Structures are given as C-alpha cells and as structure tokens.
A and B are shown apart, each in its own frame.
Chain A
Amino acid sequence: MKHPIFSLLVLVLCLSGCAVSEKHSAAKPVQVGPSAMGEDFANVPVQKVNDPLQRLNRTVFRFNDGLTTYALRPIAYRYAIIVPRPVRTGISNFFDNIQFPVRFANSVLQGKLTRSAQEVGKFVFNSTFGVGGLIRVSDHVSGLANVPAEDFGQTLGVWGFPPGPYIVIPVLGPSDCRDLAGFAGDFVISPLNWYTLGIIHYEFIGNAVGIALTGTRAVNALPKSVEDYDQMKSAAVDPYIAVRDAYLSYRSAQIKK
C-alpha cells in the first residue's frame, strides 16, 4: 500500500513544481508556420523552451548516450538476431493489449468517449481473434485502426497543466515534469504493476513474474528505440537539442490529437 501513496505524492509534488516554475519562464510555444514567417523565410522564431536544468540534463544525456552505445546497442543487436521481427511485433502487440486499461482510463478522463469505445473494441477483438493480443487484428477492422494512444501525461495536458521543466531521466531518457507525473499515474493503472502495488493477490504471480514481464517488454522494445535514436543522432548537429525539441513537439502534437 505504500506505493500508490508514494506515486500520488510524486504527482502532487511534481505538479506544484510545474506550476511554480512556469511563473518564472513563460514558455509559450511559438507557432512555427507560414503565418509566423511572413514573407521572409529567415524569420522562423526559435521555440522557447523551459529547460532550467540544462547542465544536469546534458550530463545525464551523455550518460544515456554512452549507455546506449556500450550496453543497450549490443543487447538490442543480439536480441534482434535471436528474435525475428514478426515475433518482436507479436510480443509488443501483447504488451500493448495488456496496457488497455491505461489508454481506456485516459480516454475517459479526457472526455473522449468515442475513443474509449474504440479502445474497448480493440481490446475485445485483439484478445480473442488476435490470440491474447499477439496479433493486432483490429487494424483490419474499420473504425478501430489508428486510434491515438492516450496516457496520463496527455490527460494532464488536456486538463491544462503546462509541461514544466524538461528533464532527462537516467536510462529512460527525455521527459518533462508533466510526463513524469503522467508516468506515475499510468504506473498505477497498468495491470503489469497491479501485483507490485498490492491491487491483486494471486498465488501464482510473484514479483519475479512481474519483473520478468517488465524486463521482456523493455528488451523487446530496444531494437526499435536504438534504431530510432541512431537515426536521430546521425541527422543532428546538436543531438541534445534535437531530442529535446523532438520530444516536446511530439508530446504537444499527441495532446492535440
């Protein structure tokens, strides 16, 4: 029972932190578009970013970069050889399907009722015809394909909370205050953590099973994330800024969806 309270505490602390820090630097996103550019193409404004921890963030970013290069890439490389792509996709589909309560709850919290219904439909289809979620059959059902995945970070955004300072988390990578709180919220909703949190008591599920599931999920996602990171890095002139801008723009686009 300690854990949910701890998560809530992190959430509350973080949100209050967001509210305070926001007063200091009004990070109003500048729209980069034709309307802002006028006729002169050299007038694109730089997006104002709330990054007071930049020095620390850059250090953690370098650490994560080293971790990716020397530890994660070799693991990802070997895993991708042993486990072929269709199997990796199946495993990833399985975990996505299990995470249904997270997407459903957040769709409801954002008042997106059609989307909540779509999530239920997806879950039913994929759990049954998709063999326990391994095959995403819902992609072939009209109305159930390309449903944007909701999470608690987005819910907080829809509710009007600002992103707060940008934070690079060791191992996990880029985030911001709002998404950190969102992460804590989704942790509670995710069935993968129900045993750890004491929500379910099954004799046959132990902590070991929970850890094994979480580990499998993380390793299975590695080849794709290492590939994405490499692509981004090979294009960037300042990878730290490139990732920061990409993360913040991507999240703000997701919230609008």
Chain B
Amino acid sequence: MRLDLFRSILTSFLVPLILGVARTSSAAPVDDPAAMLRSSIDEILSIAYSGHGNENLPSRVRPSLEKCFAFDLVTRQAMGPGWRQFSATEQKRITDLFSELLIRTYSARVVGTERPKISYGAPVELASDRREIPTRVITSSSNDPIAVVYRLIRLPAGWRVYDVLIEGVSFVANYRAQFDEIIQKGGASAVIRTLETKLAAPVDSRL
C-alpha cells in the first residue's frame, strides 16, 4: 500500500516535470547558445548518419549549417582587412564560394558509419555577446577524443558560430593565413579564381 502511494505521488510530480523539460528542450531557446549549438549539431549529425551515405551530403546539410554558422562573418574574418577593398559583387561571390568550400569540408569530415559522440563543456563568456563552448568529439576512427571549441556571437537572428578551433587550431586564423598572400598578390579576383579552381577539383579520394 505504501509503495503504491509513493508511486502515485512520484508519478504525479514527475510526469509534468518530464513533460515540461521536454517541451522547453524541443523549443531550443533562442537565447541559449549552448542549446542552439547542441540542437544544430544533433540535426546535422542526424542528416549525415541517416544511412543515405555521402551522396549529396553537402547540399543536404547546407540548410542546417546555415542556421548555425554565420558564414558571412567567417568569410569576412578569413579575408582580413583586404575585404574592405572588394566590391559588393566580389564580396558576395567570395562569400558564396567560401561557404561552399566550408560546407564541403565539413561534409567530408562527417563520414563513416558510426555517429561520433560529442560531450559539451560549460560555455565560457568572452564578451557580453560572445561565448566559447568547448566540446569533445569521440569518433570511431580515432583512439583519442578531439577537442573542438565553438565560438559564438549573438546576432539579431540569434546565436551563430563565427569560428571553430580544432585542437587549438582556429579555422578562421588558418584560412586568414592562407588567403593573406593570395589577396596581397592578386586581390579579390585571385581569391575568386583560387576558390573556383579548388571547388572544381574533386574531393581527394581517401582510405
């Protein structure tokens, strides 16, 4: 008897609690960068590991990636001060091409049959509108977890990723270094030519 009573009290308390939690988490509060990141990554991984293979993966994950990443900000950072000398048309073209390269690169990384496991650390406040979220990715291909840090900024549309650091290597800084010489030598047209050539080449065959 006492057990039954205990059980009914428990259910009457727990059920609304669980439902309430489920309701808030499915809504993915716009103001919570950690929740945004987690739900975006879950969405992307669900698409990548849905069992449809790698066919058209870049175009399939693009909408989800665009919801999560501020591609225009990533591009602007990767180009550096040279960006201001580009015309609006050039800026648009470079943003489109570079976003495509990033989406293709990202898609090439989420391969394999086993969905990687990701653990999320506590967000670190960089500024009132900037957060850094450390994560650990465990894949089937590596023995050791990979440290991936996401940097997010609060934009009118919500929190967006503006840089990713893999084992301490900043995506933005790495491309900034690569584009520096290209911009100094040939400006926007050289950047566009380089990106077009890069995208025309097939993705390297891997093991």
Residues of chain A touching chain B, judged by Cβ–Cβ distance below 8 Å, are 32-35, 37, 41-47, 49, 73, 76-77, 80, 85, 89, 92-93, 136, 146, 223-224, 226-227, 230-231, 233-238, 241-242, 244-246, 249-250, 252-254, 256
With beta carbons under 8 angstroms apart, the residue of A35, A44, A77, A256 that contacts B173 is A44
CA distance A115 to B200 in the complex (A): 48
Please determine whether B177 and A241 come into contact, CB atoms closer than 8 angstroms.
Answer: yes
Number of interface residues of B (CB under 8 A): 50
Q: How far is the CB of B177 from chain A (nearest CB, A)?
A: 5
A237 and B143 contacting across the interface, CB-CB below 8 Å = no
Tell me if B206 and A41 are in contact (CB < 8 A): no
Q: Does B80 belong to the interface (CB within 8 Å)? A: yes
- Chain B residue nearest to A90 (CB atoms) is B143
The chain B residue with its CB closest to the CB of A81 is B207
Q: Which of B38-91 contact A (CB under 8 A)?
A: 73, 76-84
CB-CB contacts below 8 Å: B137-184 with A:
140-145, 151, 153, 162, 167-170, 172-182
Q: Which residue of A lies closest to B171 (CB)?
A: A235
Best-surrounded residue of A41, A93, A241 (most CB of chain B within 10 A): A41
Q: Tell me if B101 counts as interface (CB < 8 A to partner A).
A: yes
Q: Which residues 177-207 of B sit at the A interface, judged by CB distance below 8 A? A: 177-182, 194-195, 198, 203-207
A34–B130 CB distance below 8 A:
yes
Shortest A172–chain B CB gap in Å is 19
B76 A41 Cβ-Cβ under 8 A: yes
Chain B residues in 8 Å Cβ range of A34: 126-127, 130, 151, 153
Interface of B is mostly: helix
Assembled-state Cα–Cα distance A237/B196 (Å): 10
A42-B109 CB under 8 A given contacts A227-B141, A249-B169: no
A246 to B178, CA, bound (A): 11
A42 to B143, CA, bound (A): 37
Chain A residues, Cβ within 8 Å of B79:
42
Contacts of A92 in B (CB 8 A): 143
Could you name 30 residue pairs across A and B whose Cβ atoms are closer than 8 Å?
A32-B170, A32-B173, A33-B126, A34-B126, A41-B76, A42-B79, A42-B80, A44-B80, A44-B173, A44-B176, A46-B80, A93-B143, A146-B144, A227-B141, A227-B206, A230-B204, A231-B206, A234-B105, A235-B108, A237-B175, A237-B179, A237-B194, A237-B195, A237-B198, A241-B178, A245-B169, A246-B169, A249-B174, A250-B167, A256-B168
CA distance in complex: A25, B73 (Å): 31
Would you give the shortest CB distance from B98 to chain A, in whole angstroms? 9
Q: Chain A contacts of B84 at CB under 8 A?
A: 42
**Least Cβ–Cβ distance between B20 and chain A, in angstroms:** 32
Task: Chain B residues near A245: list those with CB within 8 A.
Answer: 169, 173-174, 177-178
Is there an interface contact between A235 and B105, defined as CB atoms closer than 8 Å? yes
Q: Which residues on A sit within 8 Å (CB–CB) of B151?
A: 33-34
